[in-house]
């Protein structure tokens, strides 16, 4: 089904998480709730530009995606959509997204969003991912930017509070993606992508997941230290970090693909609940 093929190219689940983090940034940027017009316009523009970047990512990685069970079903990998079709689609939705952000939000948000998703589609996909097992760490900044984009949409600048949220996602990204790469190691071997479990092994990767969960825990406390949030957020942050660190240690001591998959799923829940607790604290 052609619509479904195009829709899947935008990686809707990943895009939803990015827009969710952007909306949190919008809601935290001011004491008052932003206008519905701003929230809808910024969310739509960011969604379309993110979808464009993900479509280009699928195009650039079509050959490696075809070798992996996790991605071989994509239209780009199966070649049910050609390079010209994907490129035109990505340019079309990206142009609409940029137009919406520039004229209905503000130029700063448009340029930041363009830079963010150019960094993902080009710098991360074409340069970092094929050459270094630290691709997730270095390239994580692009994926961490949505709260700053949302903040800029409301405040027309990026406050220090927004950068704290960016830092949290930046620290969260490695353990999140390394958990995925652990139970999909065979796929990455087939695709010849130098993910950490492929280049350094399972034990080394699990150890790094533990280290980054501690780094993440420290970063997640900064909103409270900076007085961006209060006790409600602190309680949630401490509880969620305890659970994340505990799961990381269990994964290291008793590795299984099933545990790695649970770790990956929990990481998504962790980020969602952590940001929701920021929001709850802000409006309490």
Q: Flag whether pLDDT at 1 surpasses 60.
A: no
pLDDT exceeding 90 applies to what percent of the chain? 87
User: pTM of the predicted model, to two decimals?
Assistant: 0.95
With contact defined as beta carbons under 8 Å apart, do 284 and 232 qualify?
A: yes
pLDDT tens digit string along 168-223?
999 999 999 999 999 999 999 998 889 999 999 999 999 999 999 999 999 999 99
CA distances from 26 to 29, 154, 223, 247 (A): 5, 6, 16, 31
Q: Which two tokens stand for residue 271?
A: 């980020």
Q: How does residue 70 score in pLDDT terms, banded at 50, 70 and 90?
A: confident
Helices of type H across the chain: 2-9, 12-28, 36-60, 62-65, 75-78, 83-104, 107-118, 129-131, 135-144, 146-155, 160-183, 185-191, 196-200, 202-225, 231-253, 257-282
**1-157: which CATH number, 2.120.10.70, 1.20.140.10, 3.10.580.10, 1.10.357.140?**
1.10.357.140
Q: Where along the chain do its domains lie?
A: 1-157, 159-284
d(CA 247, CA 229): 26
Residues 125-147: tens digit of each pLDDT:
888 888 988 888 888 888 999 99
How many CB atoms lie under 10 A from the CB of residue 230? 13
Give CA–CA dist 183/132, Å, rounded.
19
How does the average pLDDT of the chain come out, rounded?
95
């Amino acid at each position: 089904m052609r619509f479904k093929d195009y829709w899947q190219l935008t990686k809707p689940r990943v895009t939803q998480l990015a827009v969710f983090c952007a909306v949190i940034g919008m809601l935290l940027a001011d004491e008052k709730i932003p206008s519905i017009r701003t929230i809808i316009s910024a969310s739509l523009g960011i969604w379309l530009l993110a979808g464009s970047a993900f479509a280009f990512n699928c195009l650039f990685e079509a050959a490696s995606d075809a070798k992996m069970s996790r991605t071989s079903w994509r239209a780009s990998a199966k070649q049910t959509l050609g390079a010209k079709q994907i490129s035109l689609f990505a340019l079309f939705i990206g142009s609409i997204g940029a137009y919406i952000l520039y004229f209905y939000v503000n130029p700063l948000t448009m340029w930041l969003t363009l830079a963010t998703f150019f960094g993902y589609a080009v710098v991360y996909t074409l340069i970092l991912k094929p050459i270094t097992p630290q691709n997730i760490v270095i390239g994580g900044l692009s994926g961490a930017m949505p709260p700053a984009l949302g903040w800029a949409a409301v405040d027309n600048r990026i406050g220090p509070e927004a950068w704290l949220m960016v830092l949290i996602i930046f620290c969260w990204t490695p353990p999140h993606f390394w958990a995925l790469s652990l139970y999909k190691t065979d796929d990455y071997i087939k695709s010849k992508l130098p993910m950490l479990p492929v280049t350094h092994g399972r034990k080394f990767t699990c150890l790094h997941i533990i280290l980054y969960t501690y780094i993440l825990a420290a970063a997640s406390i900064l909103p409270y230290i900076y007085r961006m949030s209060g006790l409600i957020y602190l309680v949630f942050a401490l509880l969620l970090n305890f659970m994340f660190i505990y799961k990381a240690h269990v994964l290291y001591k008793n590795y299984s693909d099933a545990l790695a998959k649970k770790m990956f799923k929990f990481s998504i829940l962790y980020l969602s609940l952590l940001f929701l607790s920021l929001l709850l604290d802000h409006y309490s």
